[in-house]
Amino acid sequence: MAADSNFDRTRKESLKEAVLNRRMLICVFTGFSSGLPLYMLFQMVPYWLRTEGVGLAEIGFFALVQFPYTWKFLWAPIMDRYTLPFLGHRRGWIIVTQLALLVAISTLGFFKPAMSLWTIAYLATAVAFFSASQDIVLDAFRRELLPDVELGLGNSIHVQAYRLSGLIPGGLALILADRLPWHMVFIVVALFMLVGIVMTLVIDEAIKEPTPPRSLKESVIEPFREFIGRAGFGSALLVLAFLFFYKLGDNMATALQTPFFHDVGFSGTQIGTIAKFVGTTAAIVGGLIGGLIMVKVSINRALWLFGLVQIASILGFALLSVVGANPWMLAFAMAFEYLGVGLGTAALTAFMAKSTNVAFAATQFALFTALISVPRVLASATTGLIVERTGWTNFFLICTLLAVPGMLLLFKVAPWNETDT
């Protein structure tokens, strides 16, 4: 009896230590800084273009500006190999990308979509490049910062702060757009990058004496050789396929979210106050619950449980498309969808972190996150055409079906009964 009491006390202390430490606070700031530019690109910019009269097909193809997220593993070895002459191995690269984002986002709103759509596309691509580059280093920094036992919770907190940042371009910005000119809205959003900049200046390097690859060739080849050698070629391909398919349906369903709400009949203020607040809150709650669950259960089982919720939640948007501009239905659909998003993303991010080797964290993590962004970019580029041909309701049903293959791959890459992840 005394032994059981000591064991329970040890578990409680371990959980408290995992939750209440400086590493978790850093994950909050890395998540916020990482999510802000991405949400600006796929929520705020599409809404801005739609209000300026740009068609759905063009807005869908506009998702192609996010291609840097899918190719970031190509320049990740450079950021792994070289250290800038200030702030250290990771922090130097982080501050450069954050300052570049501050400038690029501020500049976007000074162009008019009717007259400078290509200029806006080029500048948005630059934002995506700097954002993807920031993600490379932040992901590597977080992998170096967190011990294995904290990967599930730490990455969950990162993801939820990532979602929380979506309230700025996807909520506050839309409310401000009803009252201010768009160039002022973009400046306000850009200033929130100061959250990440301050963090970068006050934290220390996760590894005091880093040992980057000795050559650029080594930084390119070794991460891939180590991953394939550790998993085996067939298993490595299955893992990569799983990362591609697990969130395919979910990414497609949310790709044209703000134009969808606009077409259903909601105002910018309604979208900002109801959809974004409720959705982001649900994602944060879901992700934090998911992170705490992963302290107790395996990442494998979390992928199964959270993936099922993620699939079912897409149907809420299909129901909203039938019901129409009902604020209560909007709140329900967003809460259900983003609960699934929060749970699924938390489990997937923890799975990716666990699958990386700390010595090659930047390149391997960049490869994994690039793969999960491919569906968001390629599929999102065609969503406008699909919606125009099928209508919103059938589109969301298609998204639900496309979420199934990722779940089937779990039988191979993350079996339910294989708890040692």
Domains recognised in the chain with CATH numbers: 2-413 (1.20.1250.20)
3-state secondary structure the chain: CHHHHHHHHHHHHHHHHHHCCHHHHHHHHHHHHHHHHHHHHHHHHHHHHHHCCCCHHHHHHHHHHHHHHHHHHHCHHHHHHCCCCCCCCCHHHHHHHHHHHHHHHHHHCCCCHHHHHHHHHHHHHHHHHHHHHHHHHHHHHHHHHCCHHHHHHHHHHHHHHHHHHCHHHHHHHHHHHCCCCHHHHHHHHHHCCHHHHHHHHHCCCCCCCCCCCCCHHHHHHHHHHHHHHHHCHHHHHHHHHHHHHCCHHHHHHHHCHHHHHHHHCCCHHHHHHHHHHHHHHHHHHHHHHHHHHHHHCCHHHHHHHHHHHHHHHHHHHHHHHHHCCCHHHHHHHHHHHHHHHHHHHHHHHHHHHHCCCHHHHHHHHHHHHHHHHHHHHHHHHHHHHHHHHHCHHHHHHHHHHHCHHHHHHHHHHCCCCCCCC
Task: Identify whether the C-beta of residue 45 lies closer than 8 Å to the C-beta of residue 109.
Answer: no
pLDDT given at position 373: 72
Residues near 284 by Cβ (< 8 Å), separated by ≥ 6?
160, 163, 164, 342
Q: How far is CA 157 from CA 281, 350, 363, in A?
A: 13, 11, 22
Q: How far apart are CA 181 and CA 186, in angstroms?
A: 9
Dihedral angle, C-alpha 326, 328, 331, 334, nearest 10 °: -60
Task: Identify whether the C-beta of residue 92 lies closer than 8 Å to the C-beta of residue 134.
Answer: no
Residues near 173 by Cβ (< 8 Å), separated by ≥ 6?
40, 44, 185, 188, 189, 272
Best CA proximity match to 189, nearest among 201, 203, 177, 179: 177
Q: Which residues of 97-124 are buried (b: 16+ CB within 10 A; e: fewer)?
A: bbebbbebbbbbbebebeeeeeebbebb
The pLDDT tens digits along the chain (421 residues) read 444 444 344 444 455 555 567 888 888 888 899 989 988 887 788 888 887 777 767 776 777 777 788 788 788 888 888 888 888 888 999 999 999 999 999 998 888 877 777 888 889 899 999 999 999 899 888 888 887 777 777 777 887 788 788 888 887 888 888 888 888 999 999 999 999 999 999 988 877 766 777 777 777 787 878 878 777 788 888 888 888 888 888 878 877 777 888 888 887 777 777 766 776 677 667 666 766 676 677 778 888 888 888 888 888 888 888 888 888 888 888 888 777 777 777 778 778 877 777 777 778 877 787 777 776 666 666 777 788 888 888 998 988 898 888 889 988 888 887 654 4
Conformational region of residue 88, where left means phi above 0, alpha means psi within -120 to 50, and beta covers everything else = left
Conformational region of residue 413, where left means phi above 0, alpha means psi within -120 to 50, and beta covers everything else = alpha
pLDDT given at position 381: 64
Task: Identify whether the C-beta of residue 388 lies closer than 8 Å to the C-beta of residue 263.
Answer: no
